[in-house]
Amino acid sequence: RQQIRDFKQSNGLDKVIVLWSANTERFSDIVEGVNDTSANLLESIKAGEAEVSPSTVFAVASILEGCSYINGSPQNTFVPGVLDLAEEKKVFVGGDDFKSGQTKIKSVLVDFLVSAGIKPTSIVSYNHLGNNDGKNLSAPQQFRSKEISKSNVVDDMVASNRLLYKEGEHPDHVVVIKYVPFVGDSKRALDEYTSKIFMNGNNTISMHNTCEDSLLATPLILDLIIVCELAERVTIKKEGAAGFEHLHSILSILSYMLKAPLVPRGTPVVNALFAQRECMINVFRACVGLPAENHMLLENKLASEIDARQ
């Protein structure tokens, strides 16, 4: 906490936003009495409990200093105790894991297939890279964190079409990440999507993508901080309410830029990329007094409306 104060003072800053972009950690177990409530978590940090990760310690320090905290890595930094603390202190938290390349394409393609009535039955994603992230993810426990964040991206799109998928049915979804030092930051991603089509036929789409991993992530860091800072200045008044209120502490408006969107407990997770983008755009349109965008364009489908403009 003192480091945050010193940084703020030495740089003459009005506010600080903390963003975690360090190595992926292993998933933390949720342990009753350790990290399940804000009070237990604070006591566990004092006691040096092993199940409290470094990123969680940073998150708690940020929240106690009134600084928004964004998790750009896939581990479960935001254990229940952190979320409780953020809501108690009314400080923003956002996560998890930068959505920069393969997952962004996946969220677009699967959304298209499912909405078109085409049923993805198998999704296999293979990656290899040689930077420090790749080396860290070669450890099984750290890879499990990344596997979870990359695999959950299709869940809400599958659930949106119960004509294609029965309750509990899901595509086979496999994620592989390998460390190849020679390729450095030049990440290689190969995807294969197999889908059921008309008359029980099969369709396979294969994709290969090569990208500079760090150069994809850096603009997301800037955008996440900019959008978060703007959200800190937004207040909303509902019709009939006595006063204005801030957005919920769990800042789901950042979902467009994150693989495993963190949302308020009890609310739906949206992974479809264009739906996430429309959400963010329409919130900011409302801030400047503009109506929400929609694609119905009914005024262009009625002869009376078209004739009146001519």
Give the catalytic positions in this structure.
97, 146, 187, 259
Tokens representing 237 are: 């008044």
Beta sheet of 69-71, edge-to-edge order? 18-20, 69-71, 93-94
DSSP label at residue 187: E
Buried b / exposed e along 291-309 (16+ C-beta atoms within 10 A): eeeeeeeeeeeeeeeeeee
Tell me if residue 211 falls in helix, strand or coil. strand
- Element holding 259 (H helix, E strand): none
Q: Measured between alpha carbons, how far is residue 141 from residues 21, 74, 93, 147, 264 in Å?
A: 18, 12, 24, 10, 27
